Amino acid sequence: MFAPRWIPAALAAAALLWACSGSTRRGDYGFDRREVIAPLPLPTGLPSPIPVQFVEAFPALVFDAPVFLSAPPDGTDRIVVVEQRGVIRVFPNDPFVTGNTVMLDIQSQVQYGGEEGLLGFAFHPDYQSNGWFYVYYTAGSPRRSVLSRFTISGGDPDVADPGSEVVLLEVEQPFGNHNSGALAFGPDGKLYVACGDGGAGDDPFDNAQNLATLLGNILRLNDDGSVPADNPFVGGTNGERPEIWAYGLRNPWRMSFDRGSGRLWAGDVGQGAREEVDVIVRGGNYGWRVWEGNRENINPDALPATAFVPPVFDYDHGQGPSITGGYVYRGAAVPALDGAYVYADFGSGRVWALVYDGLQAVSNVQIATVPSPTSFGEDEAGELYVCCFDSKIRKLQPDATNHEITAMPATLSGTGLFEDVRTLTPVAGVLEYDVNAPLWSDGARKRRWLALPGTSRIGFDPTEAWTFAVGTVLVKHFEIDTSPFTVRRLETRVMVHQESGWAGFTYRWNDSGTDADLVADGGDSVTFDVDDGSGSPRSQTWTFPSRASCLSCHTAAAGRVLGLRTRQLNRDFAFPLRVDNQLRTWNHLGLFTTDIGAASGYEAYPLPSDVTADLDERARAYLAINCANCHLPGGPTPVDLDLRYDTLESARNLFGVAATTPVPTGSGQRAVAGSAAASDLWLRMTRRDGYGMPPLGSALVDADGAALIESWLDSR
């Protein structure tokens, strides 16, 4: 059942003896020369039943946190892109465009960060004659969402008058998340407004089921902000808000009307388990917080799912943790998608096409992967675009490359990465490496390998993410001591740089430790006993990540590849020929696109457990390694923390900043100088409930890491 113990110190000693033997020493580096790896049977194309691709629509343009795209309904074939910080840009719908015009800049009145900012935009159907467009943004003091109308006036059709703002509605927001904000005009000429439940977790004020508040609803308004007489709750006798069209929603992140059928579609972001696709109907109650998708959540009255309008489709967090609603495709470029609802997941980057027959979802297939999709949008012709947090806009097009698609091998031995999987002996050219400060993995030990395709090289950077060619493969192996004398092999993860981006796969080891099987897309888990010698065995659960979960941690903002960085690799390693600095040997092998010079010229992360190292540097390294993959600019979290190692303290947004969703036992501050016990940062590290961090990938508190951050905060 168990594999032999792996002992790094023994390997290091053996390598050192070999290196010091005059008769066997063959060089001054860990390897004399680079071995070219034979082609591996791993897929570099995305399996897809519908051959499509998302290509950069405007390669010369870069956008700052784009959250929406639209087109003026005036026959001019222009594109408008909304940036979360409060800027709207307009430019010709031309792939060769090199510049844009600022249509509106309201940064001075927008509260920006996390899930707050300029979030919604819509043109009036009669824009060509009246010049009206609508925005939805967050404002402060007090924190609130503002729905306003602006006017294009004067001689320049590309520039709005900032002084033309007419505030139509304000909704006070109790927390900084779940602001929603999608706007859309329906076939009836009415303006529909999506409002989140107000934030925090589990809708603590039960807003979504309360018709006396505008939170957790879809609103329907006239173009002047007044209430249409035929709204479902007009004339209610129990305080119902007449603006409400539908309710029971958590955070409807993007909604759209189908140009063909007129149906209103929305993607409602779930909490800890389910993401849902909804068709919004008049007076409908979509169940939150009682139900989360098709899963019961907080239901003291035991209300059945049939008491609410069910989602058209929902999916679990094995597919992705945060839905981005899309559009029913009505363009001409990809006829096979006509009538399909195209939507995505912000965390996993997956894009799906859902076919709905008016009663139920007939099919739901993945068609692509894009980095951190924040919103879809249409041009005047109905062609589909997606805004991504890598600052790019991508356009849906048919894929005519006809590249050969291969499936991921069903077993680890079938990947061709190891000459012998029992001993984890890699094939020639696959390089084993190690890092200075490993990510916390519930007490498991890890080994790591890199496979570069052909003679490709690594794009080196002294402090930021490295870049790798398509076909690059990363491998990480996990095993854990279940007793002082027994080791259990858990899993081996394989990340492949495909044409559409990085994809992660998990192989679960069999009980005999002879091979590992590919884990299904939904993930898996196992529970086993651990005897640490204290005389009281404990039960431990290990979760095998789904493919979507891999990309939830290996974020696009962090460059997807986390461990292969200069500060992590700048250390000695027991290579086959001798112990040598990894950067030195890799540079000798020509693995980088340029000669990087001496390894001593670069920084290295301190080991967080090294008490002889500087406390501040150790703490910053720990946070950078364990937290900054999500908590950085453009990251997937709703919180504007920046925990990268080089970020100045004044830019971290950590000390003295109010927590977005405060831990009940804390002070409400992210970090308090001199008091870990009052700091949400430390309190979250010491929990594994709904307030715990990290939110996935760990079931056990990192006691040593928590102690380090406690000492750091207390010493401030």
More confident residue, 531 or 457: 457
Instruction: Report d(CA 661, CA 671) in Å as an integer.
Output: 13
pLDDT at 554: 87
More confident residue, 518 or 3: 518
State whether 679 and 714 are in the same domain.
yes
Instruction: Report d(CA 131, CA 351) in Å as an integer.
Output: 34
State whether 304 and 193 are in the same domain.
yes
Q: Which of 588, 605, 622 is the last residue of a domain?
A: 605
CA distances from 710 to 232, 617, 644, 658 (A): 53, 14, 19, 19
Flag the least confident range among 13-22, 268-277, 408-417: 13-22
Residue 153 in tokens: 């006036």
Instruction: Report d(CA 695, CA 271) in Å as an integer.
Output: 11
- pLDDT tens sequence across 486-523: 999 999 999 999 877 788 999 999 999 999 999 987 67
Instruction: Report d(CA 489, CA 421) in Å as an integer.
Output: 12
Q: Three-class SS string for 143-167? A: CEEEEEEEEECCCCCCCECHHHCEE
Q: What are phi and psi of 127, to 5 degrees?
A: -55, -35
State whether 632 and 684 are in the same domain.
yes
State whether 147 and 83 are in the same domain.
yes
State whether 671 and 628 are in the same domain.
yes
State whether 459 and 537 are in the same domain.
yes
Instruction: Report d(CA 498, CA 369) in Å as an integer.
Output: 10
Residues 55-80 as b or e (16 or more Cβ within 10 Å = b): eebbeebebebbbbbbbbebeeebbb
pLDDT at 5: 32
Residue 1 has pLDDT above 50, yes or no: no
State whether 420 and 527 are in the same domain.
yes
pLDDT at 457: 96
Query: Does residue 223 form part of some domain?
Result: no
C-beta separation of 176 from 190 below 8 A:
no
Query: Does residue 282 form part of some domain?
Result: yes
With 0-12 / 13-18 / 19 or more C-beta atoms within 10 angstroms meaning exposed / middle / buried, residue 642 is middle
pTM, whole model, 2 decimals? 0.72
**Residues 301-326, mean pLDDT to the nearest whole number:** 94
Give 266's contacts (C-beta < 8 A, 6+ positions apart): 182, 194, 218, 249, 252, 254, 255, 277, 278, 279, 280, 325
Instruction: Report d(CA 445, CA 6) in Å as an integer.
Output: 9
- pLDDT tens sequence across 621-664: 999 999 999 999 888 776 789 999 999 999 999 999 998 888 98
**Residues 356-369, mean pLDDT to the nearest whole number:** 90
Q: pLDDT over 70 for what percent of the chain? A: 94
| Adjacent-strand bridge partners of 416 | none
More confident residue, 705 or 15: 705
pLDDT at 609: 87
Q: Give the structural domain span for 369.
A: 50-60+320-329+336-403
Instruction: Report d(CA 255, CA 278) in Å as an integer.
Output: 9
Query: Does residue 182 form part of some domain?
Result: no
pLDDT at 11: 34
State whether 43 and 98 are in the same domain.
no
C-beta separation of 622 from 608 below 8 A:
yes
Residue 615 has pLDDT above 50, yes or no: yes
Q: Which of 605, 624, 659 is the last residue of a domain?
A: 605
- pLDDT tens sequence across 523-568: 789 999 998 777 788 899 999 988 777 877 888 889 999 999 999 9
**Residues 337-342, mean pLDDT to the nearest whole number:** 94
pLDDT at 23: 33
Query: Does residue 180 form part of some domain?
Result: no
Flag the least confident range among 121-130, 287-296, 466-475, 655-664: 655-664
The number of distinct structural domains making up the chain is 5
> How long a stretch of residues is the chain?
716
C-beta separation of 118 from 137 below 8 A:
yes
Query: Does residue 181 form part of some domain?
Result: no
Mean pLDDT of the chain: 91
Residues 426-447 as b or e (16 or more Cβ within 10 Å = b): bbeebbbbbbbbbbbbbebbbb
State whether 414 and 265 are in the same domain.
no
Q: Half-sphere exposure (CA, 13 Å, Cβ side) for 619?
A: 19
- The CB density around residue 193, as the number of other CB atoms within 10 Å, is 28
State whether 83 and 32 are in the same domain.
no
State whether 410 and 394 are in the same domain.
no
pLDDT at 49: 59
Q: Which residue has the tokens 């858990």?
A: 490
Rg (CA), the chain: 27
pLDDT at 15: 37
State whether 213 and 73 are in the same domain.
no
pLDDT at 278: 98
Q: Which of 355, 381, 403 is the last residue of a domain?
A: 403
- pLDDT tens sequence across 12-54: 333 333 333 333 345 689 998 999 998 898 887 644 557 889 9
Confidence of residue 362 (pLDDT cuts 50, 70, 90): confident
Instruction: Report d(CA 71, CA 91) in Å as an integer.
Output: 10
| Adjacent-strand bridge partners of 104 | 88
